[in-house]
Structure 1
Amino acid sequence: MRLAVFGDVHGNRFALEAVLEDIRQSAPDAVLNLGDSVWGAADPAGAWALQAEHAPVTVRGNTDERVAGMRPGKERMRSWLLAQLPASVPGTLAVLPTFVDTADGEVRAAHGSPRSPWEDLLLTEEGEHTRPAHFKELRERLGNFTFDSGGRVCIVGHTHHEMLAVVDGVTVVNAGPVSRQKDGLPLAR
């Protein structure tokens, strides 16, 4: 099975168009969209329309929870986004799962970690510093998704850092963002 995976669009229609064109040329069997779909200012309505048509959001991201009103804070940005987007978007985002399994249970997709879209799967914060997660932390964050239970690959986004680790036979991948517009680089990745 060939899977295309992307996430962290953050409302960047322009970068998403390039990513979707690349996906079309690759002709995958399925597309997984790891969330954080519209929280950004580079045409969130256009980004939502493209995702709805070509690659609907698969799992709920942390900023999707903000758009859905599930997490307080940043109300000025949320209000602006709600004025740009179809009225159905918050409800659509609110009911998305935290993770999904595909490919006969061999692949798990989540935004941050299978436990929470706010939790980094591959990174651990220690005070003011961030470090790669230790294998023990990864095992705990993966929960029941193990090699022995048929798990082979867990794919996440959230941190905007491409990463790869293997823990107890499970390959853990951070796919990175569609673009790094929040970091000042709006081009497609």
Structure 2
Amino acid sequence: MRIAFISDIHGNAIALEAVLENINKKQVDKVLVLGDIAYRGPEPKRSIELIQKLYTTVIKGNADEWIVRGVQEGEVPNKVLELMNKERNWTVSQLAQTDIDYLANLPTELAFEEEGISFHAFHATPNSLFDVVLPNTADDKIEETMMTDKTADIYLYGHIHKPYIRYINGKTIINLGSVGLPFDGQAKASYAIVDINDGSVSTSIERVAYDFEKTIAKYKEVNYPNTDMMESIIRKGSL
């Protein structure tokens, strides 16, 4: 069984198409989506449509919640609150009410078992869409914050856009990175694969090159309200 986990597309449908093509080449059995589908990218509606065509389990991210009800004070620095809501309002203007309802009704976590291996997946933490757990967080803090389901063998999340794999007391924790907005200095889409074979497990972070110049051109074409900053992030793969 080979499972691909993707997240943090952020309206970058061009990157998402490249990742889905890469997943197809790797003969993956299942694709699961850990949130942040549409907000902050130039093609929010097409990104949602591509995800819906997977006919798979999708959970909600903080950016999906922002589309539904706006960015609230205290969730981002005050100096960017107005701008981020301007971006949110632009995103909503590109969507139908059915798209917004789809995001509103997504679950917030996913627990399942495959071939005797238990998984617990969520966007940021099991109890929050917004909390930040970085790659260098201490083991005991990760256990306390992320490994609340003691029955799981593998924990997966998105949100921070910085992929990593760690092993803590016999458990595996994976951050998928980001399909559409990587923050780790590589201008390549990121996702994770878990392989299960006769009780053995292997994990990997996959990096996929895509034509980010096309994404930048799309931001300009649609008059996205924060194009300059988004172009810089896309081009550098970092904030």
Query: Would the aligned equivalents of 1:51 and 1:57 in 2 still touch at CA under 8 Å?
Result: no
Displacement of 1:78? 1.8
User: Which segments of 5 or more consecutive residues in structure 2 lack a partner in the other structure?
Assistant: 73-80, 183-229
Structure 1 residues 30 and 92: alpha-carbon distance in aligned structure 2, compared to 1, 3 A threshold? same
Partner of residue 89, structure 1: 99
Match for residue 142 of structure 1? 146
Alpha-carbon offset, residue 90 of structure 1? 2.1
Structure 1 segment 20-169 matched on structure 2, within 5 A: 20-54=20-54, 58-69=58-69, 71-72=71-72, 74-104=84-114, 106-121=118-133, 123=134, 132-146=136-150, 149=151, 151-169=152-170
Normalising by structure 2, we get a TM-score of 0.67
CA distance in structure 2 between the aligned counterparts of 1:160 and 1:17, rounded to whole angstroms: 18
Q: Please give the TM-score of this superposition, normalised by the length of structure 1.
A: 0.83
Q: SS where residue 53 of structure 2 aligns?
A: helix
The verdict on how the C-alpha distance between 1:145 and 1:96 changes in structure 2, with shifts beyond 3 A counting, is: same
Pairwise CA distance, 1:140: 1.2
AA of the residue aligned to 1:51:
I
CA contact (8 A) 1:38 1:44 kept: yes
Partners of 1:179 and 1:186 within 8 A in 2: no
1:119 and 1:55 map into 2 onto residues whose CA distance is 28
For the Cα contact (< 8 Å) 2:70–2:85, is it kept in 1? no
CA change 1:100–1:44 in 2 (3 A) is: same
Aligned length: 176
CA drift at 1:42: 2.3
What is the alpha-carbon distance in structure 2 between the residues aligned to residue 12 and residue 56 of structure 1? 19
Partner SS for 2:156? strand
Tell me: CA distance 1:53–1:78, structure 2 relative to 1, closer, same or farther (3 Å).
same
Cα separation, partners in 2 of 1:69 and 1:56, compared to 1, 3 Å: farther
Percent identity of paired positions between Structure 1 and Structure 2:
28
Q: CA RMSD in A?
A: 2.2
Q: Displacement, 1:143?
A: 4.5
**1:1-20 correspondence to structure 2 within 5 Å:** 1-20=1-20
Distance 1:186 1:40 in 2: 16
Query: 1: CA distance between counterparts of 2:236 and 2:31?
Result: 22
1:166 CA drift (Å): 1.5
Determine helix, strand or coil for the equivalent of 2:10.
coil
Partner of 2:172: 171
